[in-house]
Each structure stands twice: as C-alpha cells, then as structure tokens.
C-alpha cells in the first residue's frame, strides 16, 4: 500500500485488466467466427458497416435504440442489437441509446406514457357515446382499471412516445453529425 492508499486502485486495475483480456478473447472477431452458434450468421454480425460510425448508421442506431429502449422496457439492448442488423444501423449506438430507459427514468417514462395514452384515447370524449377508454364499472377495482384503462393507455402512450422520441433522436443526431462535419471542414480550411 502506498502513502495515498492506492492499494485498492492497483487491485481495480488488475481486475480491469483481467476483464479486458477475457473480453478480447471471448468477444473478438475471431471468437465470434469460431463460435458454433454464431457461425451461420457471423458474416452478417461482423459486417464492418454495422460497427463503423457513419452519418447514416449513427442516426439510425440512435432512433432504433430509443425506440427499443422505450417500447420494450426489458431486454431492450439485445433487441436493439438484433434489430440493428436488418436496419443497417450502428450496433454500438443502438445498444447505447437504449439506456434512455434506465432505473432513474423508468417511472417518469411510464407516467408520461400513461398521460399521453390517456389523452390519445380520450380524444373521442366530445363525440356522442362512450369514450374508447370509458370506465365500464366504477367500483370493480384496481385490476379492472389496469386491464380496461391503465394498460391500454400506457401501451398507446409508449408507442406514441417511442415513435416521437425516435424521430427527434434521429433528427438531432443527423443535425449534430452535420454540424460536427461542417465544423471539421471549417477548421481544416483555416
């Protein structure tokens, strides 16, 4: 142990080095090509265009990751990675942008989705008759509310929120990429 108490730091570096070696050995290009389960799709999984950061693949990855992260609260990283292949989206960006839905943002996203869904389903309230999400029996209980109103409103809200935030994420990322490229060109021409 040194004077500043960096013994734990040395141990952390050793653990990080072991994890890094394991990751390079088991998640390398060669390891994926050797894996018998992934061998039939290795050519597709290892396509360089899916791992390169380009002006087209990164916004696709952001939009796909936000969509999967909001619409599917569980296993969204794996789903985003799998959906990135046919969408020709950047896989690391798609997986990373699913983190928009995390333990801190989960409750606010669900509450906002419920409010949006309730608003969307109540649009027909001014039309004569019953609204789509009408309360069939007022005193049936919370389970009936969950099945008849809460669930459908939240699902509709999640779809609307996922589509809207994906479009916004795509636009902001494409614009940011364009501004970043323009800035690099300005610096290069000086």
Q: How far apart are the first and last CA of the chain?
A: 51
What's the number of CA atoms in the CB half-sphere (13 Å) around residue 113? Answer: 26
Total Cβ atoms within 10 A of residue 71:
18
In tens, the pLDDT along 15-63 reads 778 877 776 666 566 777 777 887 777 777 777 777 788 888 899 999 9
Q: Which residues contact 185 (CB under 8 A, 6 or more apart)?
A: none
Region of 170 (left: φ > 0; alpha: ψ -120 to 50; beta: rest) is alpha
Q: DSSP for 139-168? A: TS-HHHHIIIIIHHHHHHHHHHHHHHHHHH
Kindly report the pTM of this predicted structure.
0.70
Q: Looking at the predicted structure, is the pLDDT value of residue 168 above 60?
A: yes
């Amino acid at each position: 142990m040194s004077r500043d108490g960096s013994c734990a730091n040395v141990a952390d570096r050793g653990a990080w080095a072991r994890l890094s070696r394991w990751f390079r050995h088991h998640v390398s290009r060669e390891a994926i090509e050797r894996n018998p389960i992934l061998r039939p799709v290795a050519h597709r999984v290892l396509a360089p265009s899916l791992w390169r950061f380009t002006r087209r693949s990164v916004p696709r990855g952001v939009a796909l990751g936000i969509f999967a992260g909001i619409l599917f609260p569980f296993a969204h990283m794996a789903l985003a990675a799998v959906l990135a292949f046919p969408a020709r989206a950047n896989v690391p960006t798609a997986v990373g942008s699913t983190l928009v839905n995390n333990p801190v943002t989960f409750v606010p996203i669900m509450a906002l989705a419920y409010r949006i869904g309730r608003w969307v389903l109540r649009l027909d309230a001014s039309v004569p008759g019953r609204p789509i999400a009408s309360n069939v029996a007022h005193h049936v209980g919370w389970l009936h509310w969950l099945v008849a109103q809460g669930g459908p409103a939240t699902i509709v809200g999640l779809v609307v929120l996922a589509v809207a935030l994906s479009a916004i994420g795509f636009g902001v990322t494409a614009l940011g990429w364009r501004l970043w490229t323009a800035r690099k060109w300005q610096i290069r021409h000086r």
